[in-house]
Every structure is written in structure tokens, then in C-alpha cells.
Amino acid sequence: MTKEIQHATFAGGCFWCMVKPFDELPGIIEVVSGYSGGHVDHPSYEDVKKGDSGHYEVVRITFDPSLFSYQELLDLYWPQIDPTDEGGQFHDRGDQYRTAVFYHNEQQKEEAEASKQKIADSGKFQKPIVTKILPAAPFYRAEEYHQKFHKKNPNEYKQDREVSGRDEFIDRHWQR
């Protein structure tokens, strides 16, 4: 019997900060930093950083839904972001840092839309939820130095998180 493997793709601002929350959990096979949703084939980091390629910085998670469900991934995704900010995330500004859930099948779309509505109905936020729910687009793996950045460069990762305002926001809004 072959196990079913799926992908989940999330944009949550800088992809460096989006890997660690999903990394090394039971049922998570791989978390890869990359680019998706743009109009340039095989973009480089420099292409995306300029902000005119249309791509989001994303993480693509390969997972076994029998061990870690898509709903559990969504439940982990939302508290990593400010879903009301349409101009980027924290100190990272620009379209490449916007938030989005890229769904890979109809069930993921339904679950993502329902989870977004649950956040909107929760009363946690005064402003509207602007995170987009979009069909999966071609995924381009980011350069190797971006992969598992939190492990390769722990001091820079920690410093970036501290100055970004991400952790302060998460503590204030998501009670982690």
C-alpha cells in the first residue's frame, strides 16, 4: 500500500521565518523555500527581491496527511503571520512578502477558505483578513543558501526575527 503524499504551499513573508515552524514534525517530509505565483520563469532571489516578478516568497511543504493533516498545517500557518497586512509582513515590505495559501486540490481550497473565515470571525483582528487563497502556481526552489536558513545561520536568523517584529506580533495576537 502506497501512502498518499501531498504538498502545501504557504506565503508568509520572508521564507526564512516560515520554515522552522513546520520543520521536523511527524508526517512532514520536506519544507523547501522558494518562489511561486509570479510571471517570470525560474526567477532568482534577485528577481523576486526587486518586487516586479510577481512571485511570493513561499514554503512548499511535502507531507503525509495520514500523519499530519492539511488542517493541522493551516492551524500552524495562521499564527505565523499578520493576515491583515497587504503590504508585506512585519519589516519585510513589498508584494513578494504578501501572505497567501496556495491550494493544490479542491479539498485544500475548501479547508483554506473555511480556516480564513474562522480567523475573520474570531474577532482577533480589527482590520479585514487579506491573505489570499489561490490555486497552486509553478514552484521554483530558492537558492541553496536560503534552504533551512534557521539551521545554517542561527544567529542571523534569530537577529532577523528579533528586529522584524514578527515574534512580538505573534505573542500579542496569537497567545503562543
Catalytic residue among 8, 14, 74, 136: 14
Residue 167 sits at the vertex; the CA angle it makes with 165 and 170, to the nearest 5 degrees, is 105
* CA-closest candidate to residue 5, choices 58, 70, 59: 70
φ and ψ of 42, to 5 deg: 50, 55
Active site residue 14: yes
Strand order in the sheet with 132-135: 132-135, 99-103, 6-12, 56-63, 28-36, 139-141
Closest CA to 89 of 167, 143, 142, 144: 167
Q: Phi and psi for 143 in degrees, rounded to 5?
A: -55, 155
Query: Catalytic residues, which ones?
Result: 14
